Structure 1
Amino acid sequence: MSPNLTLVLVSGVLVATGVALLLERTLTRVLVGIVLLSNGINVLFLVAGGRPGGAPILGVTRAEDMSDPLPQAMVLTAIVITLGMVAFILALAYRSWQLDGHDEVQDDVEDRRIVRRAERDETSASYDDDTAETAGTTATGAHPHDGREAP
C-alpha cells in the first residue's frame, strides 16, 4: 500500500515553511517555524508508520489488523518536546520584549570581533607560510621536505 500523497505534500509544505521561518531573526517567527516543522515531521511519522488499522490492543483486534503503535508513541513524545521548546522560546521572547521592546535577535558584537580576528590570523598565517616556503623553510623553521631543522 502506498502512502497518501496528500499527507506527504502537507508534510513537505509544513517542513519547508518551518525551515524558512526558522531562518528569520525574530523569535516569534522562529517559534512559529518550530511549531510548523514539528507538525510536519509528526505527520511524516504517521505517514511512514504504515497503513491505518485497528487499536493495538490484544484481544480486541486481530494481530494482522493492528496499526503500529511505535509511530504514535514517537509523535506523542515529539509533541511533549515541542511543547517544552515552545515554552522556552516564549520565555525568551517575553524577556527580550521586556528588555529591548522587540524580539529580534541581534548579532553579537563580540562574536563578530572573534570572527574578524580569526580571519585576520588565518590570512597572516597563510602569508607567513607562503613567504617561509619561498625561503626554503616552513613557518616553524623546519625544512619543508625532510622534517629537519633549517640551519
Structure 2
Amino acid sequence: MKKTKTQTLTLLAVLTALSVVLAYIHIPTLTGYLTLLDVGIYFTAYYLGAKSGAVVGGLSGFLIDLLLGYPQYMLHSLIAHGTQGYFAGWIGKKRFLGLVLSSIAMVGWYFLAALLLGYGWGAAWASIPGNLLQNFFGMLVGYLVYYLAYRRFEK
C-alpha cells in the first residue's frame, strides 16, 4: 500500500506529539536531568529518514520550549534538534558520519545559543556534558526502540 501525503503528515504529527510528551519525562543526573526528547527524534530519524527526523526534531524542540516556558530557546531548539534529526537520518555508509554530525550539531548549537542569549562562556561550556549525555542516551534508546519496532512491524 502506498502512503499518501496525508498519512505521512499524520504520522509525523503523532511522532512530534509523542516526542513532546517524552520531553516531560525527566531523569535526574549529576549535571541536572535528562529528558527523553532525543529518543523520539532519533527513533523517527532511524525509522523514517533524514527529512522526517528534521521535521519531528525541529518541531518537537520548538514546541517543548514553548510549553515549558523557555521562549528564548525556541528558535535555537528548532535549529539544534532539526539538524540533529536530519543528520541522524542518514543511512548506509553515511550513517556513522550522520550520527557524529547530529551530536555536534545539537551540542554545538546549544553552546552557541548560550553565548547568543548572553549567558556567557561559563554557561556555554557547562552545557556540554549534559547535552552530550542527553544526546547519547537518546541515540541509544532511540535505536533500541527502532530495533524493536522494526523487528515487530517490518518482518
- The structure with the largest helix share of the pair is 2
TM-score normalised by the chain length of structure 2: 0.29
- The structure with the largest strand share of the pair is 2
